[in-house]
């Protein structure tokens, strides 16, 4: 029996996108039963094409990314990030607009959320805490290159938006939240680390492009 599931939910910012719209996987016919439609589907050339295409995509994901030199990273940063001249930077690769410089204040998680929700910057009021994946992708730039784009980046952790679903494994999900480490001397540089929400870390807010401006 063939089951078809959408790959959209399994896409992430840090993994290469799938080329196919669907993934074909096999299920145990004893567990689900075998319908005539499923038998016809298993013989369909389109099923074989989707399966072969998914196998190729999976193999591509397993291939390690080629290492980039520091010069290549700096060149990428110059073309990828656009300084808007209003205290914000646009990432043309992810369609995100970032706060260029954080305000230098370490906050607990609750205060960090409140700061993002109340911030009015560059004519916008829909700022938010970034997801940990968004911060981790930023950290891939390397610290020195990162500071060319975001000059006052601290060698510290930055809070990431965290939901209860993100912490399904935790015994007390309401007490902790994710941070991403930006200390280049740390073994956790660029990694997501959970801390108590009462701890103080820094905030760099972000927003999705093509949202509304603050009404005047």
What is the CATH number that goes with domain 71-208? 3.10.100
Question: In which band, very low, low, confident or very high, does the pLDDT at 79 lie, cut at 50, 70 and 90?
Answer: confident
108 and 198 Cβ atoms separated by less than 8 Å: yes
Question: In which band, very low, low, confident or very high, does the pLDDT at 85 lie, cut at 50, 70 and 90?
Answer: very high
Q: How many beta carbons lie within 10 A of that of residue 124, not counting itself?
A: 17
* Cβ-proximal residues to 12 (8 Å cutoff; 6+ apart), any chain: 133
Q: Is the pLDDT of residue 2 over 50?
A: no
- The pLDDT assigned to 29 comes to 39
Per-chain mean pLDDT for the chain = 78
CATH 3.10.100 domain residues, the chain: 71-208
- The pLDDT assigned to 70 comes to 63
Summarised one tens digit per residue, pLDDT across range 28-58 is: 434 334 444 444 444 555 445 444 555 555 5
Helix (H, G, I), strand (E, B) or coil at 41: helix
* Cβ-proximal residues to 178 (8 Å cutoff; 6+ apart), any chain: 132, 159, 160, 162, 166, 192, 193, 194
Please state, for a pLDDT cut of 70, what percent of the chain lies above it: 63
Summarised one tens digit per residue, pLDDT across range 97-150 is: 999 999 999 999 999 999 999 999 999 999 999 999 999 999 998 888 999 999
Q: pTM (2 decimals)?
A: 0.66
- The pLDDT assigned to 210 comes to 79
Q: Is the pLDDT of residue 171 over 60?
A: yes
């Amino acid at each position: 029996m063939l089951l078809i599931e959408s790959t959209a939910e399994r896409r992430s910012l840090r993994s290469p996108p799938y080329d196919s719209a669907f993934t074909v996987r096999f299920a145990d016919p004893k567990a689900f039963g075998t319908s005539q439609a499923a038998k016809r589907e298993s013989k369909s050339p389109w099923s074989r094409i989707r399966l072969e295409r998914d196998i190729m995509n999976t193999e591509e994901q397993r291939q390690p990314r080629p290492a980039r030199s520091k010069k290549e990273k700096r060149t990428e940063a110059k073309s990828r990030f656009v300084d808007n001249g209003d205290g914000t930077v646009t990432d043309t690769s992810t369609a995100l607009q970032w706060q260029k410089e954080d305000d230098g204040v370490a906050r607990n998680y609750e205060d960090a959320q409140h700061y993002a929700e109340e911030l009015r910057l560059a004519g916008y009021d829909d700022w938010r805490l970034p997801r940990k994946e968004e911060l981790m992708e930023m950290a891939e730039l390397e610290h020195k290159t990162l500071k060319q784009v975001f000059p006052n980046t601290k060698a510290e952790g930055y809070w990431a938006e965290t939901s209860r679903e993100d912490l399904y494994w935790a015994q007390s999900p309401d007490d902790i939240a994710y941070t991403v480490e930006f200390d280049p001397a740390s073994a956790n540089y660029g990694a997501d680390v959970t801390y108590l929400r009462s701890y103080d870390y820094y905030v760099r807010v972000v927003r999705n492009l093509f949202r509304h401006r603050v009404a005047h």
